[in-house]
Amino acid sequence: MLRFRLAGILAATVVVALVAAGASGGARSAAAAKTFVFCSDITYPPEEFFQGTTPVGSDIDIGNEVARRMGMKAQFNNTGFDGIIAALLAKKCDAIISGMNDTPERRKQVAFVDYLSVGQSLMVKKGNPKGIKTLADLSGKTVSVEVGTTNKQFLDAQNKVLKQQGKPSIKIVTFPHDTDAANALKTGRVDAYFGDSPVVAYYIARDSSFGFAGSPVNPIPVGIAMRRGDARIPAVQKAITGMYADGSMMKILNKWKMGAFALKK
């Protein structure tokens, strides 16, 4: 979220509703309701997850408000994170909102409108039986992570450091869904889980068998990703700026206990 978390279907869709204006032979008027489609991997609480069949979370609330300020309605297409940028580039959605970190590598493919600054954290079994406190302590350990994330890339980079030091590497186990990566720790298949700090905090708050290991690392921006050159980028930026200015963003973040991850002025 990292995805340290984190493009999907339809370019903007237009739904036209024809409404009868009179009881007998009256004129008819058409109201166009435009839809702004987000690709989102809806397996990443508290940013995006399902309650029943309804997507909820901080990113869902933010996406809905961004679309509203653009005079549109938001739609969220559940898209696997490892193929989410490809989906955006294939015009299967208008933007990505999915806890995606704004990195130089990703900026070669897409443009970003940043809205959060999130670090990454290690999660372990309660009591930290393996004594993991830093990334260096992961040497020789097994760690779960969601596929296609910057969390995975960060652990890959750490393995290069360990190799230079002549130490055993981290065994990185990837999962298609972040919730599966967290469950691997719960079931004892791995020694630790690595993900965005708000996601780790969410899991720990809801499961007493988990705990933090050490302090968050590597804070970087999280952004809404869009196709480079998209004429709607300024409108999305205006919406995010306005949400910070009028307090709407902090209201959403505080609702999901993510106020600490607001962009710093």
pLDDT in tens, 140-155: 999 999 999 999 999 9
What is the mean predicted confidence (pLDDT) over 82-88? 97
Tokens of 83: 């193929």
pLDDT in tens, 16-35: 333 333 333 333 333 346 99
pLDDT in tens, 217-227: 888 899 999 99
In order of start, what are the domains of the chain with their CATH numbers? 13-118+221-261 (3.40.190.10), 119-219 (3.40.190.10)
pLDDT in tens, 182-239: 999 999 999 999 999 999 999 999 999 999 998 888 888 999 999 999 999 999 999 9
The dihedral over CA atoms of 46, 226, 7, 247, expressed in degrees to the nearest 10, equals: 10
**pTM for this structure?**
0.79
CA distance 44 to 181: 11
pLDDT in tens, 103-134: 999 999 999 999 999 999 999 999 999 999 99
